[in-house]
Amino acid sequence: MAASCLIRAVFGGVARDDQGRWLGGFYERLAMRATSSLIAELWAIHRGLILAKKYDLKMVIIKTDSSEAMKWLCLTGNVSESHPDRAVIEKCKSLISELGIVLIHTLKQRNNCADHLATLGRIQQEQEDMVIIDHPPYSV
């Protein structure tokens, strides 16, 4: 779902129904530099949570291939104030709780579509907002 390495953080995500049919997708290039893949993954999850709330989606399951993101988002209690990604972790945890969303780990091979959308974020202009896609790109 995410890619980074001291470059601008980019990420993508896909929404599917319970039959696996495309509902929508998104990608974005953040205006910040990423020091790890964790920050891009956390922002991807955060944006997915924001969209779930905006569109009032019910019974949402978010899948991530990042075991590190899972660890931080499933942590009981608050994240240490010294953690560099504390703010986005706490925002995600709050939305997960508020919306009753389930977070599960998936294999990287099962996340190819989201990874592909993240590559589209690399060509996005920095000042652009998140791009929401109604139909899957031909390249997917």
Q: Is residue 14 part of a domain?
A: yes
> How confident is the model at residue 96, as a pLDDT?
95
pLDDT at 125: 65
Domain presence at residue 26: yes
Report how many domains make up the chain: 1
Q: Is residue 7 part of a domain?
A: yes
In this prediction, residue 48 carries a pLDDT of 92
* Residue corresponding to tokens 């779930």: 52
pLDDT at 4: 41
Residue pair 2/43 in contact by the 8 Å Cβ criterion: yes
Domain, as residue range, for 65: 2-133
Is 123 exposed, middle or buried, given 0-12, 13-18 or 19+ CB atoms closer than 10 A? Answer: exposed
Report the alpha-carbon distance of residue 114 to residue 54 in Å, rounded. Answer: 20
Nearest C-alpha neighbor of 14 from the set 54, 59, 61, 53: 61
Averages of pLDDT over each 10 residues, the chain, 140 residues: 56 88 88 75 93 90 92 90 92 95 82 73 71 83
Q: Is residue 111 part of a domain?
A: yes
- Between helices 112-121 and 37-54, what is the axis angle to 10°? 100
Q: Is residue 138 part of a domain?
A: no
Residue 139 domain-assigned (yes or no):
no
The pLDDT score that the predictor gives to residue 34 is 62
CA distance 132 to 138: 15
Q: What pLDDT, on the 0 to 100 scale, is given for residue 68? A: 94
pLDDT attached to residue 60: 92
- Name the pTM for this structure: 0.82
CATH code at position 13: 3.30.420.10
Q: What confidence score (pLDDT) does residue 120 get?
A: 74
- What Rg value do the Cα atoms of the chain yield, rounded? 14
What's the pLDDT at 46? 95
The Cα–Cα gap between 90 and 72 comes to 9
The three-class DSSP label of residue 31 is strand
